[in-house]
Amino acid sequence: MIDKLYDRFKKDFSKFLVGMEKTFDEVWQEFLQEMTLKKAEIESKIEGLEKNKSTLEDEEKTLISDISKLSNNKLKLSAAIDELEKRNKSVSEELLKNTEKIEELKNKDSILKSKEEELGLKEITQKAKDDSIREREARINSIFNKINS
């Protein structure tokens, strides 16, 4: 194909080159050299673009993978938050109940103190106090264990 192109241009342009210092063959060789250089430049640019494309595709895959991982982590965190909110509500309810029981026990304790003073039964009351304190401590420890778990 280049040979046909060469022959055609040689016929058409030889008459224009009569008064010039260069022959058609010299002009043709210069043209071919320039085209070869341009072809090499274009091929180099194409190689660079292909490498960039490959790099970008790898980065895209990595980003898609990272997004997928982040989505899964988001779902796990949402589930964990829901679970913690349920636990918090349960612990709050338990704490409220225990606070009410403590108030009730305080009221009973003050009633017992007044009765104790009336009856003079300090020994019986002291034992009841000790039992009541142990009960309170057990309940409070139970609450803290639930909160910590």
Q: Tell me how long the chain is.
A: 149
What is the C-alpha radius of gyration for the chain, rounded to an integer number of angstroms? 47
Percent of the chain residues topping a pLDDT of 70: 77
Pick from 101, 102, 124, 103: nearest CA to 112:
124
Cα distance between residue 97 and residue 143, in whole Å = 11
147 touches 91 (CB < 8 A) = yes
pLDDT reading at 117 higher than 80: no
| Domain parsing of the chain, residue ranges | 24-148
- Residue 133's pLDDT band (cuts 50, 70, 90): confident
Instruction: Please indicate, yes or no, whether the overall pTM of this predicted structure exceeds 0.75.
Output: no
Cα distance between residue 102 and residue 96, in whole Å = 10
Higher pLDDT, 134 or 99: 99
